[in-house]
């Protein structure tokens, strides 16, 4: 069965620091990859997604992620974080076939101090 | 548009009681999902419905049942609640299955079982 691993449970940064959150998945076939964000007290929102093409995808609020197929990774990055980026971040993957469901990682909590 | 609406927002049950969580979407989406979110566990899929008339088990279906009442509505039932089912439950929908379409989440139902 497919699975998603997020290496960092809790990341603490100061404003303007750079961010990289790791995500690895286990599935041998073609996958679709997502990052979702959950701000305190809110529901999950889509940050960015990768289906095919350019492995470097850009999302909202200055976030980007790079798909490295050989490493089964889809790491999330942001050059300079802001206090408002404090949230929980979830990586998710689904096989590229109809009728399958999205599987989430356990999440990474990001705390940004001003 | 309301998007995905879940009711109730909060619920406290005693062990052994039953209840149904309601979910409705007004985006004409084909697929609907129920997830539970627990600290340190991320989101885990309980059941999903790829299209009207079909339902499938996710990662953690035990203790739950679902009904896809029509295209708009997808309910989750706990027949005999247990403390282990204390969690935040999220309903989500997507346009045509999660292969290509991102999920739209409801605001969640916080359930406590004593």
Whether the CB of A25 is below 8 Å from some CB of chain B: the reply is no
Q: Spell out which residues of chain B touch residue A105, defining contact as CB-CB under 8 Å.
A: 42
Quick one: closest CA in B to A46, which residue? B102
**Structure confidence by residue, pLDDT tens digits, B22-66:** 999 999 999 999 999 998 888 999 999 988 889 999 989 999 999
CA angle in degrees (0–180, nearest 5) for B43-B45-B49: 140
> Among all chains, which residue has been given the structure tokens 């309601």?
B22
The confidence score (pLDDT) of residue B63 equals 96
Residue B11 pLDDT exceeds 90 = yes
Residue B99 pLDDT exceeds 80 = no
Residue B98's Cβ-count burial label (10 Å; 0-12, 13-18, 19+) is buried
The confidence score (pLDDT) of residue A98 equals 66
Q: How far is A71 from chain B (nearest CA, A)?
A: 21
Q: Which of A63-72, B84-93, B95-104 has the lowest mean pLDDT?
A: B95-104
Q: Do A34 and B102 touch (CB under 8 A)?
A: yes
Partner residue opposite A101 with nearest CB, options B45, B100, B106: B45
Minimal CA–CA distance to A89: which of A35, A40, A17?
Answer: A35
The confidence score (pLDDT) of residue B101 equals 75
Q: Spell out which residues of chain A touch residue B107, defining contact as CB-CB under 8 Å.
A: 42-43
Q: Spell out which residues of chain A touch residue B103, defining contact as CB-CB under 8 Å.
A: 36, 44, 46, 102
Residue B98 pLDDT exceeds 60 = no
CB atoms within 10 A of CB B64: 19
**Chain A contact probe: residue of B3, B99, B110 with most A CBs at under 10 A:** B99
Tokens of B98: 């999660």
Model confidence at B8, pLDDT cuts 50, 70, 90, reads very high
Of all helices (H) and strands (E), which one includes residue A87? strand A87-95
Partner residue opposite B98 with nearest CB, options A6, A9, A102: A102
- From first to last of the 114 residues of chain A, give the pLDDT tens digit: 678 999 889 999 999 999 999 999 998 788 899 999 999 988 889 999 998 899 999 999 999 999 999 999 999 999 999 999 999 999 999 887 766 778 899 999 999 998
Q: How far is B37 from chain A (nearest CA, A)?
A: 9
The confidence score (pLDDT) of residue A107 equals 94
Residues pairing with A93 in the sheet: A33, A103
Minimal CA–CA distance to A60: which of A41, A40, A39?
Answer: A39
The confidence score (pLDDT) of residue B41 equals 86
> Among all chains, which residue has been given the structure tokens 């990859």?
A33
């Amino acid at each position: 069965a497919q699975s998603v691993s997020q290496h960092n449970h809790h990341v603490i940064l100061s404003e303007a620091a750079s961010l990289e959150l790791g995500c690895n998945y286990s599935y041998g076939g073609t996958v679709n990859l997502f990052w979702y964000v959950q701000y305190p007290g809110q529901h999950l929102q889509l940050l960015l997604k990768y289906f095919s093409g350019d492995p470097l995808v850009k999302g909202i609020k200055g976030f980007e992620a790079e798909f490295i197929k050989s490493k089964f990774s889809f790491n999330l990055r942001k050059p300079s974080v802001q206090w408002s980026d404090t949230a929980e971040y979830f990586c998710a993957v689904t096989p590229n076939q109809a009728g399958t469901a999205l599987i989430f990682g356990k999440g990474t909590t990001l705390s940004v101090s001003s | 548009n309301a998007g995905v609406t879940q009711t109730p927002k909060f619920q406290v049950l005693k062990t052994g009681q039953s209840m149904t969580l309601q979910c409705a979407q007004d985006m004409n989406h084909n697929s609907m999902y129920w997830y539970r979110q627990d600290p340190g566990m991320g989101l885990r899929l309980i059941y999903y419905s790829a299209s009207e008339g079909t339902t499938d088990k996710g990662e953690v279906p035990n203790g739950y049942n679902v009904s896809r009442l029509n295209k708009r509505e997808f309910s989750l039932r706990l027949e005999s609640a247990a403390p282990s089912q204390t969690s935040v439950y999220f309903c989500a929908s997507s346009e045509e299955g999660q292969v290509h379409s991102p999920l739209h989440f409801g605001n969640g139902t916080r359930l406590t079982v004593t």
